[in-house]
Chains A and B, each alone.
Chain A
């Protein structure tokens, strides 16, 4: 159906062929790994800078402000200036902190987000690793981040950090369940855990529309739970700055702080990308059933554009939450998860299984 959609595998295939002509197969794999690694590193850094800029502009709009507008055109260079400042800042050693864990923590956090990114299908044929258990993999590696947060809080030798880390641990472990269950809803619909398979299964319409009300419920739960999982407002208890000054990264400075900061934004992108992939069809253009003509026109918009449009739509939603809602209290946070979201998700899954069994979905 998406026949006239550009397939990035032709590009990557030709690069592979060109490399194979030049060197032995072992070197080809090595070169490709290095190339992909470099590409991801570049993408990661640029995306982080852009997301910080976007957040500032979005929050400025919500708060009746202009936002950064001095450094560069429309303040575009503001985040780069901030990055340079963070790079040049002194790394303050903390007395009585555990130096190994203290230095390790930011890397674990950033590693988790890096690994999750590898499985994202950015466009048709543009995916670093296409696991057959893609959903499972993404869930698994993105929950590694909490280890880094816990380590940061524990090793900082600060009570504020510790409270923040413990809060964060309780929060992420709880909300992981709802995120998992809401994604599982779509896995039941599409019958595969492979991210590319899930995207392909939405060729005649996104699951959000095809899956009746249960898919909508799953989407809402996913939005709430994933916002909580990445520690963003209104669930930013781990770094609640009016209570814990900066939570688990209170004692970090310079580039190590920047790592936490960057990982937070990239995590936001990752959950948005997963949400877009699972519920909104990922790179799949907006297709309606068998309206061939309409679908054909939609295919003229490249798949990578679709992916980023949908992802940034969800990113915007998550930013909107943060700048509008007050923060929850820790007990309210856990109540919301264990008493409301989790039972609803479970019932929802049963519903969906029933729908799939009866073949009622489109």
Chain B
């Protein structure tokens, strides 16, 4: 299809020109290459070229035991590393039918939400940068640092934790975990309104974000756009609600849905999700039950032959893991359905007809993480 279009342009109107955005471009958030056809400043169409950071994670998984391949999943969507880990672990636990302790479920859910907040904070930083508001970057990173400190204290790593293991956790959380998390929630409840003051209420920002990148509910469903991007189009796709895992069935929370379907709606959904995540953490943090940090697991995990499927909600959408096992200690085939892959390919539909500046804003509002697309 892409060749056809290119040929069309070659013989077509001379005013069109093609510009390569990326792989080294400040706003493609990684090594994504967008082949953008422009007429003046207006985007006619764009073709995403992926694969610049393809590492063959799915293939590598076939050579690793289940404990080992957890560490590879971190490297997909590195901003929701915890959810990626959890997806595989849930799949393995399902297959083995292990009953994991309540404590583990609670801690996993809290970590999920902390990770989601950290991810949305970084998205907010980068989205502001995309629109040229350079100060937002430092406000977001300032608060994200607090979450990363909590992570560092408990897991020793800040970004790629690999803390969740099949059957439970790598080890118990740090004794300070509860206290520091509560401190963070208290701190961030004060700081989050600053985000609105700096960016949301700004008239330039609203003019830049409102009414561009319209994604109807049908488009979102058609392209499989999930996560906050899909929910901005009123598409109820939150796996935490549809198929609760961890402790999500024990907490009260709202699925944030936007009706604007535009960039601003997606922005608002993410901002509201940060508030909602804090609510979830607050409900859980005081009630973490005592107990073991892991279920009894054999040192070598062998899944019974068969196919297993689990999905979780990462900060960017629905991550699904599909494992085919032939009874060995390594999976026969492993397939990840990563959210960013689907979210990326709707970009052409959203950005066509808009200006270059809008293309950047729209791709920013989809919150793409490129290693997650390429795997």
Residues of A within 8 A of B (CB): 59, 62-65, 159-160, 163, 167, 233-234, 236-237, 240-245, 322-332
Contacts and interface: CB of A to CB of B under 8 A. Distances in A.
Interface stretch (B72-80, B127-135, B304-312): B127-135
A163 B135 contact: no
B357 A329 contact: yes
B132 A64 contact: no
Nearest to B136: A326
Contacts of B133: 324-327
Given A241-B26, A242-B360, A327 B135 contact: no
B302 interface: no
A327 B355 contact: no
Given A63-B135, A63-B138, A234-B132, A328 B356 contact: no
Contacts of A167: 41
Contacts of A243: 27, 356-357, 360
A63 B129 CA distance: 13
Contacts of B25: 245
Q: Nearest 6 pairs between A and B by C-beta?
A: A327-B132, A326-B133, A63-B138, A326-B131, A242-B27, A329-B357
Q: Is the interface of B mostly helix, strand, loop or mixed?
A: helix
A59 B136 CA distance: 12
A324 B58 CA distance: 43
B131 A327 contact: yes
Contacts of A237: 357
A240 B128 contact: no
B138 A326 contact: no
Contact of B129 (A236, A242, A324, A328): A242
A324 B136 CA distance: 8
Given A236-B132, A242-B132, A245-B25, A330 B41 contact: yes
A328 B19 contact: no
B27 A328 contact: no
Contacts of B137: 63
A323 B135 contact: yes
A264 to B, nearest CB: 16
A242 B130 contact: yes
Given A64-B138, A245-B25, A323-B135, A330 B204 contact: no
A234 B134 CA distance: 10
A217 B137 CA distance: 33
A38 B357 CA distance: 43
